[in-house]
Amino acid sequence: MALPVIDPKMRVIVALDVDSAHEARRIVAELAGHVGAFKVGLQLFTVAGPEFVRELTADGHRVFLDLKFHDIPNTVVNAAVEAAKLDVWMLNVHASGGGEMMRETVRRVEAHCSSTRSTRPLIIAVTVLTSSDDDTLGEIGIETDAETQVVRLARLAADCGLDGVVASAQEAVAIRKAVGRDGFIIVTPGVRPAFATRDDQRRVTSVREAFDNGADLLVIGRPIIRAVSMADAVSEILHEAAKADQ
């Protein structure tokens, strides 16, 4: 693990993949204090916008703004600076946007935060989506296997000064081996606790496997937000995580 030892619940990020601020507030109210952060992704951001992100951060919640920026360097840099102004804890870009885009994003967000004396958000890079496999990569003309592509993009992100990557836990071991930097964070979605279904995720891992492989933070959506009791689902996940430490 690259992060210092922290309370296991702080390593769980809940994906607020819902269609209204009202629904998201219900999840946050039930889970605040039980998990480390809430993730606002494309669906919720499109419907509820930056106002809702501001509401969460103003209430003291840690927010991972998962908008996966992927555009020309200037556009990504400006979007990332706007995200930093929302006081988010973490944001992300697509590593496949290239080195210049990632380097400039870190540099300009850092400059903005030091001029406003605010805390710089963690900036991480998406390597290969966990819903993609070798066939999906082949469709878009990438002939290497998913793991090789993930490692290549993780190395590039680390060289560009990013704080970490989003990747399947199946690739976490290879990423740790390739990126020696202390504190490089691996955030893993596509985690499926024993009680849950796979949904559309392909490169899935169990909670135990994710931590054993060296993941720092887990992003979990449907297994928690569709549970009859969200708090019970989180407890079950923490129980599985505790087994990983034994």
Binding status of residue 164 toward ligand C5P by CB under 6 A? no
Q: Which of helix, strand or coil describes residue 65?
A: strand
Q: What is the token pair recorded at 165?
A: 């990557």
Q: Which residue number is nearest to ligand C5P in terms of Cβ?
A: 221
CB-wise, 101 or 126, nearer to ligand C5P? 126
CB-wise, 27 or 108, nearer to ligand C5P? 27
Among 166, 186, 207, 238, binds ligand C5P (CB under 6 A): 166
- The residue range among 76-84, 124-132, 144-152, 176-184 that interacts with ligand C5P, by the rule CB under 6 A, is 124-132
Q: Give the pairing type, strands 122-126 and 12-15.
A: unpaired
- The residue range among 75-83, 109-117, 138-146, 219-227 that interacts with ligand C5P, by the rule CB under 6 A, is 219-227
**Nearest residue to 203 (alpha-carbon basis) of 137, 106, 142:** 137
Among 199, 232, 243, 245, binds ligand C5P (CB under 6 A): 199
**Nearest residue to 90 (alpha-carbon basis) of 110, 111, 51, 62:** 62
Among 105, 170, 201, 205, binds ligand C5P (CB under 6 A): 201
d(CA 226, CA 73): 37
Binding status of residue 129 toward ligand C5P by CB under 6 A? yes
d(CA 14, CA 141): 33
- Point out the catalytic residue in the list 9, 39, 68, 85: 68
Residues 30-69 that bind ligand C5P (CB under 6 A): 41, 66
Q: What is the token pair recorded at 142?
A: 């990438």
Give catalytic status of residue 68 as yes or no.
yes
Among 24, 94, 105, 130, binds ligand C5P (CB under 6 A): 130
d(CA 159, CA 156): 5
Q: Which of helix, strand or coil describes residue 168?
A: coil
Q: State the virtual CA torsion across 240, 210, 203, 142 in degrees, nearest 10.
A: 170
Binding status of residue 190 toward ligand C5P by CB under 6 A? yes
Report the nearest approach of ligand C5P to the CB of residue 105 (Å).
17
DSSP H helices, the chain, are 21-31, 42-58, 73-85, 99-115, 134-139, 146-159, 172-178, 207-212, 222-225, 230-245
**Nearest residue to 190 (alpha-carbon basis) of 231, 223, 157:** 223
Among 15, 80, 95, 101, binds ligand C5P (CB under 6 A): 15
Among 102, 179, 219, 230, binds ligand C5P (CB under 6 A): 219
Q: Which residues have a catalytic role annotated? A: 68
Q: Which residues bind ligand C5P (CB under 6 A)?
A: 15, 17, 41, 66, 126, 129-130, 166, 189-190, 199, 201, 219-223
